[in-house]
Each structure stands twice: as structure tokens, then as C-alpha cells.
Amino acid sequence: MPFVVTTILFALVGAYALGAGAAALAFLTARNRSLPGAPTEWPPVTVVPSQGADPGALRDALASCEYPTDRVEVTHSDASASTASGSAPTSDNVILTLPPGAEVPPEWPRSMVRPCQTDASVVVGPTLVRHDNLFLPRLEALQHLGRLTRLGGTAHLGLPIAGTANRALNADARPSASSSEGPAPLGPPPTTSLTFNPAPEAAVTRSAAGSFVDLLRRQAERFHHALRTPSRFVQAQAIGRWGINAVLLACSAVAIVLPAWRQPALVALLGKMGADVLLAVPAASHFGERGLLRSIVVTVLVLMVSTSLAGGWALVGSSKPNSLDRAGVDT
């Protein structure tokens, strides 16, 4: 393997490993942080489901949640439906948003509202993937745990994050959250304070991708929205993740033909795998998903291929307006 290629490959892996280690340590710190106590009076809550979701089904699910039922309102995510139902969010409501097809635990509203009232204008909650112990859903669930560690760690360090769908917004974030021009935004306003809520009670679950192509589309949408955010840090993170997987995939393909490339490519692949373990373990342990770690080897290999393809798809989609736009993209 040429020296220049080796240097680039190992520099990318080293930077990725350092970032993974920093995110994992920050996530562990955020996980151990004590949550604020319950307010003396629970504020009114407006729940905004994702575009295309059934508000009636969500309203039934929230009826069993541990929150005063007279203070919970479910509205549509688009302006026309909100106007038709007459249930637009009021100025004193805390707005809760959800990813597509999400299921909520009974403690979810209280867990999200508590830090929103005391700590920050925007509270980001975790999203888990339902896998039912099936092959492709297991891979997506494990990949998502790595993203969850990165999300929690990055937010705890006070750095910008990409758009998220499970979140709570108080009055300080209202201009971005209550727009009557379209669906709820995918990310918090850049001027608001933000905190990550690591409580398992705040975790909502969504369905896994139905096929590999669907998984690629979801990843491409995340890249697409990350590249469209005003934060250079978020853009650099997305490009960096795509770059390391694309370079590693290309080197691995060449190593199949050229034996001299095999040892450096294998060492780099093992280093990347170790970094992905650093990312997956904190969230997997915290949310009771350590059994997914048995799939770490195949997950890293699939992630290398899918991230490379999804990044290219996002770049192509960026040149075609609305080709990858979808409300409710989660992290």
C-alpha cells in the first residue's frame, strides 16, 4: 500500500477513534447526571406526531401515560390539518415531537418535560429501534445505538447536533417549533440551550427498516439533513463519517486483488471496529441492549458499505430539490 494512502487511512481511523472515545466518555457523564425534580404543577403539553402518523392512535397511547390527561393535546404536524382540527399549539405549551411510527412508554411525557422546565429550551430524548431479534433490524438497532452515544456525548459537550425527532421544546424555542408554514423542524434553533435526556423512561421506539434499500434511504436522509444544517461542525461530522467508511471500503476492495494492501487494510478495519464498539457499548448497556453487541463484526462491515452508498446518495439527492426531504428524520 502506498505511503500516502496508508497515512490517510490511519489518520482517518485515528481521528474517528478519538472522536468515538470522547463521545463515549461524555455520554457516560451525561448518563450519570441527576435529573431535576418534578415541577409543582405539570405544564400543558402539545404532542406533534410525525407527518403521516395517526393522531388518534397516538392520543389513545398517551391516555395511558403518567401525565394529567387534561393537559395533553395531540395535534397534526402540518398546518392544514392543525387548522382543520383547531388544535394549534398555544404559547404556554411545551411541545413534544416524535419520530415516525414511534411508541412511547408511560413515563415519556414527564421524563421529557422535567428537564425542559429547568435545564434548557430544547431537550433531546433517545430513540431506539425495534429489532425483534431479526438480522437486518438487529444491525440497524446496533448502528443506531452508536449514533445515540454520539448524540448524547456531543450534546453534553455543548457542541451542535444534527436534527432529532424525539424532543421537547419550551417557550424559548417556540419560533422554530410552532411554525404554521409546514411540519415541525428537524433540529433545534442554533440560539437555544440544549440538553440530552439519557433517562430510559424518555426513550421512544420506532420500527426498523423493511429492507436494505430502505435502510440506505434512511441513512441518506440523515446525511442530507446534516449537510443542510448551518453548523459546520455537524457538516464536518457527516462528511468525516462518510469519508472514513468510503476510504476503508475502497482499500478493502483493492486488498482483495493486491496482497500488499491486506495487512494495512485489516489493521485499519480492526481499529474502526474498536471505535464502533466504544460508541455502541455505553448506549447498549444503558438501555439494556448488550445482546446486540454479538453482531458487532457484521454490523461494522455492513455499516462500511451502507454508509459509503448512503453518503453518495445524499450528495446526489442534494442536487435534486425535495428528493430526500422527509419530516421526522431521527438520529
Say if residue 154's pLDDT is above 70.
yes
Instruction: Read off the amino acid at residue 313.
Output: W
Is the predicted pLDDT of residue 117 greater than 50, yes or no?
A: yes
> Rounded distance, CA 271 to CA 264, Å?
11
Q: Kindly report which listed range (86-95, 104-113, 204-213) carries the lowest average pLDDT score.
A: 86-95
The pLDDT score that the predictor gives to residue 249 is: 93
Confidence of residue 176 (pLDDT cuts 50, 70, 90): very low
Q: How many CB atoms lie within 10 A of CB 320?
A: 8
Is 203:127 a contact under the CB 8 Å cutoff? Answer: yes
Band (pLDDT 50/70/90 cuts) for residue 180 is: very low
Residue pLDDT, tens place only, 17-75 = 999 999 999 999 888 777 667 777 888 888 887 666 666 777 777 777 878 878 888 87
Of 267, 268, 278, 262, nearest in space to 248 by CA: 268
Point out the least confidently predicted range of 100-104, 185-189, 265-269. Answer: 185-189
Residue 76 has what pLDDT?
A: 65
> How does residue 116 score in pLDDT terms, banded at 50, 70 and 90?
confident
- Could you read off the pLDDT of 224-260 as tens digits, one per residue? 888 888 888 888 988 999 999 999 999 999 999 999 9
- Rounded mean pLDDT, 264-286: 93
Q: Identify the residue with better confidence: 164 or 325.
A: 164
Distance CA 195, CA 169 (A): 11
Select the more confidently predicted residue: 268 or 99: 268
Q: Name the grid cell of 112.
A: 421529557
pLDDT of residue 121: 75
| Mean pLDDT on 91-108 | 81
Query: What is the structure's pLDDT at 26?
Result: 92
Name the grid cell of 76. Answer: 397534526
Task: Output the pLDDT for position 163.
Answer: 65
Instruction: Give yes or no for a contact between 100 and 328, defined as CB atoms under 8 angstroms apart.
Output: yes
**Of 71 and 318, which is predicted with more confidence?**
71
What distance in Å separates the CA atoms of residue 265 and residue 256, rounded to the nearest whole number?
A: 10
190 versus 286: which is more confidently predicted?
Answer: 286
CA gap 5, 252 in Å, rounded: 12
What is the arithmetic mean of pLDDT over 174-187?
Answer: 42
Model confidence band, residue 110 (pLDDT cutoffs 50, 70, 90): confident
Residue 59: Cβ within 10 Å count: 14
What are 184-193's pLDDT values in tens digits?
444 444 444 5
Kindly tell me if the per-residue pLDDT of 99 is higher than 90. no
Q: Express as a percent the part of the chain with pLDDT over 90.
A: 32
Higher pLDDT, 178 or 77: 77
Contact call for residues 298 and 139 (beta carbons, < 8 A): yes
More confidently predicted of 145 and 123:
145
Least reliable range by pLDDT among 90-94, 182-186, 190-194, 284-288: 182-186
How many degrees, rounded to 5, is the angle at CA 303 between CA 242 and CA 288?
Answer: 120
**SS3 track for the chain:** CCHHHHHHHHHHHHHHHHHHHHHHHHHHHHHCCCCCCCCCCCCCEEEECCCCCCHHHHHHHHHCCCCCHHHEEECCCCHHHHHHHCCCCCCCCEEEECCCCCECCCCHHHHHHHHHHHCCCEEECCEEEECCCCHHHHHHHHHHHHHHHHHHHHHHCCCCCCCCCCEEECHHHHHHHCCCCCCCCCCCCCCCCEEECCCHHHCEEEECCCCHHHHHHHHHHHHHHHHHCCCHHHHHHHHHHHHHHHHHHHHHHHHHHCHHHHHHHHHHHHHHHHHHHHHHHHHHHHCCCHHHHHHHHHHHHHHHHHHHHHHHHHHHHHCCCCCCCCCCCCC
Q: Identify the band that residue 331 occupies on the pLDDT scale cut at 50, 70 and 90.
A: low
Compute the mean pLDDT over every residue in the chain, rounded to the nearest whole number.
80
